Amino acid sequence: MDWPGRPAGNGRPLVLCLVGEDEVVQDVERGIGAAGAPRALTIRPLDAAAPDSGCDILYAAGSAKQSAQAALDAVQGRPVLTVTDARRGDAQGMIHFVLARGRVRLRIDAAGAARAGLSISSKLLGLALSVTR
């Protein structure tokens, strides 16, 4: 992933914002801890996303204060990589996790990412079940 105006090795940690109930936040934190991160990552749980939340990545599962779609709408047009999960509703971010043949797969909205000024690596695109260009 490349963010506009942000070199890959600039030393500032990526900010992963999580809009979801406590269970969602704990699941994501546990998954990231198990996978390891290639560079520093700051996890920021939010009740609701806003355009000025300071997120580089937004995992939108929805909370009591904000639906997943409303969280996506809040950062639309900003250089924020949005991520959603089909198990948590119909809202679809730039990266959308789906279950296919018993495996978690990705649907990628590369066109949406490009509109936000983001570019998704060809390696990640190659892993996708489908890519919208």
DSSP 21-66: -HHHHHHHHHHHHHH--SS-EEEEEESS--TTS--SEEEEEE-SSS
Q: How far is C-alpha 115 from the geometric centre of its chain's CA atoms? A: 15
Per-residue pLDDT of the chain (133 residues; tens, 9 = 90+): 777 766 555 667 889 999 988 777 777 777 666 555 555 788 899 999 999 999 999 999 999 999 999 999 999 999 999 999 998 889 999 999 999 999 999 999 999 999 999 999 999 999 999 999 9
Evaluate if pTM is beyond 0.85: yes
CATH superfamily assigned to domain 14-132: Response regulator (3.40.50.2300)
